[in-house]
């Protein structure tokens, strides 16, 4: 093959890759753009795009629905409490796993991370049976337990990644210089794993706010989350309030992404690892 033929082949391959990238990007972004357009559609029915006029009617209807605002309040309470418990328990579990080397450590670590691979429907049904068996029938408590179970692995995994990559000599130097174990942890270890804790907390909050499958099993008639309320509304009478809710959730996701970029940085999170605190 001549040099010109190779250059032509390289250009064709590069063009094909760019075209594939554009197609994938369009596939990912187009549904979001359509949802945003529908959320501001002034019509009372689902018509062809683009909408002839824009309005805030679906957002006004969304906030006027009592069961939606009740679900939103419950979702926020559950997400905040879940994140707080996850950070405390997940960080303690990750530190214990990092410092210990007992038989069965790998099995225990797999148990902590298993909710990431077990189907959510299985987790929800199992939690419903277990919590009912031990006498926990309150909807809020059941939802809180379920969300902690499904979000705890995110904090454990990110904090473990931070602990694995830290320089252990810093802690040893602090101990040699006279610091106690507690002082070395608070002044050396904790700042080094801060990025992992923040990343795990953001993921835990987002997953808790978005969960549907597990929450469907654990709700009761008076305690339900926002996604469950939206699914119920869609089944009863489909309208574009679901699009307005999707736009609001996208805004929350955008805020979480900005928080991650501000306090952790995507280059550190995705490209260089969590350990460079």
pLDDT at 266 exceeding the cut of 70: no
For position 155, what pLDDT does the model report? 92
Closest CA to 155 of 101, 185, 195: 195
* Banded pLDDT at 265 (limits 50, 70, 90): low
- Three-state SS across 233-277? HHHHCCCCHHHHHHHHHHHHHHHHHHHHHHHCCHHHHHHHCCCCC
* Tens digits of residue pLDDT in 50-64: 888 888 888 888 888
Residue 165 has pLDDT above 50, yes or no: yes
Q: Does the structure show a pLDDT above 90 at 183?
A: no
- Of 194 and 147, which is predicted with more confidence? 147
pLDDT at 1 over 70: no
pLDDT band at 80 (very low <50, low <70, confident <90, very high): very high
pLDDT recorded at residue 82: 95
Question: Residue 273: pLDDT above 70?
Answer: no
- 220 pairs with which residues across the strands? 223
pLDDT score for 277: 44
Please tell me which residue, 272 or 45, carries the higher pLDDT value: 45
Q: Are 193 and 159 in contact (CB under 8 A)?
A: yes
Tell me: pLDDT of 12 over 70. yes
- Averaged confidence pLDDT in the chain: 84
pLDDT, mean of residues 124-128: 91
Q: Is the CB of residue 196 less than 8 Å from the CB of residue 276?
A: no
Of all residues in the chain, the percent with pLDDT exceeding 90 is: 18
With a cut of 90, say whether residue 184 has pLDDT above it. Answer: no
Tell me what pLDDT residue 275 has: 47
Instruction: Name the pTM for this structure.
Output: 0.79
What φ, ψ does residue 127 adopt, rounded to 5°? -65, -40
- Closest among 255, 246, 248 to 31, alpha carbons compared: 246
Note the pLDDT tens digit of each residue in 234-263.
777 777 888 888 888 888 888 888 877 777
Q: Is the dihedral of CA 64, 67, 71, 73 positive or negative?
A: positive
Q: Token pair 């339900």 is at which residue? A: 224
The contacts of residue 137 (CB under 8 Å, 6+ apart) are 131, 220
pLDDT(127) > 80: yes
In 3D space, the residue among 214, 197, 99, 123 whose CA is nearest the CA of residue 157 turns out to be 197
Asked if residues 82 and 150 have their Cβ atoms less than 8 Å apart, the reply is no
Residue 4 pLDDT > 60, yes or no? yes
Predicted pLDDT of residue 267: 62
Say which residue, 85 or 275, is predicted with more confidence.
85
Mean pLDDT, range 17-46, rounded to an integer: 86
């Amino acid at each position: 093959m001549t040099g010109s033929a190779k250059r032509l082949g390289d250009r064709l391959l590069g063009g094909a890759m760019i075209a594939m990238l554009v197609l994938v990007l369009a596939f990912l972004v187009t549904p979001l753009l359509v949802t945003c357009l529908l959320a501001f559609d002034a019509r009372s029915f689902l018509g062809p795009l683009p909408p002839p006029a824009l309005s805030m009617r679906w957002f006004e209807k969304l906030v006027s629905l009592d069961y939606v605002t009740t679900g939103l309040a419950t979702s926020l309470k559950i997400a905040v409490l879940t994140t707080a418990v996850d950070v405390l328990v997940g960080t303690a579990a990750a530190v214990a796993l990092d410092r210990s080397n007992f038989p069965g450590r790998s099995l225990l670590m797999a148990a902590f991370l298993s909710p990431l691979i077990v189907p959510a429907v299985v987790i929800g049904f199992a939690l419903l049976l277990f919590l009912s068996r031990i006498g926990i029938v309150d909807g809020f408590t059941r939802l809180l337990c379920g969300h902690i179970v499904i979000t705890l692995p995110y904090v454990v995994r990110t904090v473990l990644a931070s602990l694995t990559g830290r320089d252990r000599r810093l802690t040893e130097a602090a101990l040699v210089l006279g610091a106690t174990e507690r002082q070395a942890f608070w002044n050396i270890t904790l700042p080094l794993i801060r990025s992992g804790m923040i990343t795990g907390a953001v993921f835990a909050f987002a997953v808790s706010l978005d969960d549907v499958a597990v929450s469907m099993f654990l709700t009761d008639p008076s305690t339900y989350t926002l996604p469950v309320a939206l699914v119920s509304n869609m089944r009863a009478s489909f309208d574009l309030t679901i699009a307005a809710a999707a736009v609001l959730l996208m805004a929350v996701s955008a805020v979480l992404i900005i928080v991650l970029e501000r306090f952790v940085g995507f280059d550190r999170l995705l490209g260089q690892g969590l350990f460079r605190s």
